[in-house]
A and B are shown apart, each in its own frame.
Chain A
Amino acid sequence: MAKNSKDEILHDHNHDGIDRRGFLKCMAWAGTGTLCVMQGGVLKSYSLSRLSDLGASAAAAGELSFAQISDSHMGFNKPANPDVAGTLKAAVDKINALPTAPEFLLHTGDISHLSKPEEFDTVDQILKATGKEVFFVPGEHDVLNDDGAQFHERYGKGTKGSGWYSFDKKGVHFVGLVNVMNLKAGGLGTLGHDQLEWLEDDVKHLKSSTPIVVFAHIPLWSVYPEWGWGTEDSAQALAYLKKFGSVTVLNGHIHQIMQKVEGNVTFHTAASTAFPQPQPGKADSPGPMKVPAEQLRGILGITDVNYVRGQHALAVVDSSLA
């Protein structure tokens, strides 16, 4: 990764670059994380090594900081990663070492690999070491065999319908959405009528200056429909959020970091703590991707999100486990 004298880094591992027509694809594959910061409507990226500087100034202004992890797939044990518990533990260590301690965690789904009770138990146990509250949304691997009954019992207290909910932290409004239930043949992720109605009502009375963070498992934008990487009715959800000055959408599912900015909405997908998946179209199928063992931890990661009150958008940083 090249560093120029101004300390701005262009992550160009796959020659995707940055499209300055306001449409950003920031694919950080390996190595240290990327901080993408919106300043005056322009997106800039910095290396994770500058995080401590930014963290310090953010602390002075008063901030909210939380971490996102995703796709722990507890129970997966194939060659792509025979030790998903170990890599999840490494993610926890990384969280505990962040310069600004996150106040809580978001897990954007696929907590377990086969929806087995012992898999959920193991993740809960490992995450306890952060000492932080964790907010979950399910992935399709969490609702197998029982239409999500077990997930609901474990993590669904106070949620509506198949598990959607919202909460507030320091003036930021968080919305957890479920788009992995009732998937139709040949279809994409789906939110459904009831959830969309609830969302409309949930944000209706909020001031447009309220920063919004939406988190859901399957991406809420069309990353790659051929592989099911999208949500068929997300446009309706985004329409309800149109009035807000700052909307951050955090997703998982695709096991790689991708980012897109569209007007006031920043979409961000997280790396998996378990195994990477190929880039859209670069393989026959979106299955677990084997990488040389020494590179694996550089590709898996966590996302640290910082909100500084008064600033327009949330700063999202990805950091690898290496």
Chain B
Amino acid sequence: MRSSVWILVLATSVIAASALLAGSRSLAASAEQAQASSVEVKIDNFSFGPATLTVPVGTTVTWTNRDDIPHTVVSDEKIFKSKVLDTDEKFSFTFTKPGTYPYFCSIHPKMTGKVVVQ
């Protein structure tokens, strides 16, 4: 094969390969975005489930009260604070910075939980 053809084949392969890579990178990015959109914490039986939740930066965590008694979600450092949540009411917070966020129910302070943002 003439060298010009070789160069053409090589160039096409490189372009094709980069296109593939770029494509897969954006696919991966959108998969991450889909994961980060919403994570649930269930409040039931005077406890947060899961008690410790680990999520990536940018995640919105939604607490739903499934208990038959009202609860609140209050961060120990007052970074977030819900209104009182009766049964089936929700509270959401988006974690934009990495760190560990302990929280509790201000009505029943023995109820504690933690969100770890990585």
List A residues at the B interface (Cβ < 8 Å): 78-80, 113-115, 140-141, 144-145, 183-188, 226-228, 284-288
A interface SS class: loop
| Residues of A contacting B76 in the complex (Cβ-Cβ under 8 angstroms) | 185
C-alpha gap A51/B112 in the complex (Å): 45
Instruction: For residue A248, give the distance in angstroms from its CB to the closest CB of chain B.
Output: 27
Pick the contact of A186 from B72, B83, B87, B109 — CB < 8 Å? B109
Given contacts A186-B110, A227-B46, A287-B45, 17 further A-B contacts (CB under 8 A): A79-B68, A114-B84, A114-B86, A140-B107, A140-B108, A144-B70, A144-B83, A144-B84, A183-B106, A183-B107, A183-B109, A185-B74, A185-B102, A185-B112, A186-B104, A286-B46, A288-B68
Instruction: For residue B55, give the distance in angstroms from its CB to the closest CB of chain A.
Output: 20
C-alpha gap A114/B65 in the complex (Å): 14
B103 within 8 A of A: yes
A185 touching B103 by the CB < 8 A rule? Answer: yes
| Residues of B contacting A184 in the complex (Cβ-Cβ under 8 angstroms) | 109
B109 touching A228 by the CB < 8 A rule? Answer: yes
Instruction: For residue B113, give the distance in angstroms from its CB to the closest CB of chain A.
Output: 10
| Residues of A contacting B104 in the complex (Cβ-Cβ under 8 angstroms) | 185-186
Instruction: For residue A125, give the distance in angstroms from its CB to the closest CB of chain B.
Output: 22
- Give per-residue flags for B9-40: 1 if the beta carbon is below 8 A from chain A beta carbons, else 0: 00000000000000000000000000000000
B62 within 8 A of A: no
B109 touching A187 by the CB < 8 A rule? Answer: yes
| Residues of B contacting A183 in the complex (Cβ-Cβ under 8 angstroms) | 106-107, 109
B109 touching A287 by the CB < 8 A rule? Answer: no
C-alpha gap A287/B84 in the complex (Å): 16
Instruction: For residue B7, give the distance in angstroms from its CB to the closest CB of chain A.
Output: 67
Pick the contact of B112 from A186, A188, A226, A286 — CB < 8 Å? A186
Instruction: For residue B25, give the distance in angstroms from its CB to the closest CB of chain A.
Output: 41
B47 within 8 A of A: yes
A277's nearest neighbour on chain B, judged by CB, is B69
Pick the contact of B84 from A79, A80, A115, A188 — CB < 8 Å? A115
| Residues of B contacting A145 in the complex (Cβ-Cβ under 8 angstroms) | 83-84
C-alpha gap A186/B47 in the complex (Å): 12
C-alpha gap A166/B110 in the complex (Å): 30
Instruction: For residue A289, give the distance in angstroms from its CB to the closest CB of chain B.
Output: 10
B70 touching A114 by the CB < 8 A rule? Answer: yes
Ranked 4 nearest A-B pairs via Cβ: A285-B46, A185-B104, A183-B109, A228-B110
- Give per-residue flags for B36-58: 1 if the beta carbon is below 8 A from chain A beta carbons, else 0: 00000000011100000000000
A287 touching B106 by the CB < 8 A rule? Answer: no
| Residues of B contacting A226 in the complex (Cβ-Cβ under 8 angstroms) | 110
| Residues of A contacting B102 in the complex (Cβ-Cβ under 8 angstroms) | 185
A288 with B69: in contact, given A114-B84, A114-B86 (CB under 8 Å)?
Answer: yes
Instruction: For residue A309, give the distance in angstroms from its CB to the closest CB of chain B.
Output: 41
Instruction: For residue B77, give the distance in angstroms from its CB to the closest CB of chain A.
Output: 10
Instruction: For residue A113, give the distance in angstroms from its CB to the closest CB of chain B.
Output: 7
Instruction: For residue B84, give the distance in angstroms from its CB to the closest CB of chain A.
Output: 4
A185 with B109: in contact, given A287-B45, A288-B69 (CB under 8 Å)?
Answer: yes
A287's nearest neighbour on chain B, judged by CB, is B69
C-alpha gap A285/B69 in the complex (Å): 11
A144 touching B109 by the CB < 8 A rule? Answer: no
B67 touching A287 by the CB < 8 A rule? Answer: yes
C-alpha gap A80/B106 in the complex (Å): 23
Pick the contact of B45 from A78, A187, A284 — CB < 8 Å? A284
C-alpha gap A140/B74 in the complex (Å): 15
Instruction: For residue B96, give the distance in angstroms from its CB to the closest CB of chain A.
Output: 22
- Give per-residue flags for B93-118: 1 if the beta carbon is below 8 A from chain A beta carbons, else 0: 00000000011101111101000000
Instruction: For residue B61, give the distance in angstroms from its CB to the closest CB of chain A.
Output: 17
C-alpha gap A141/B87 in the complex (Å): 15
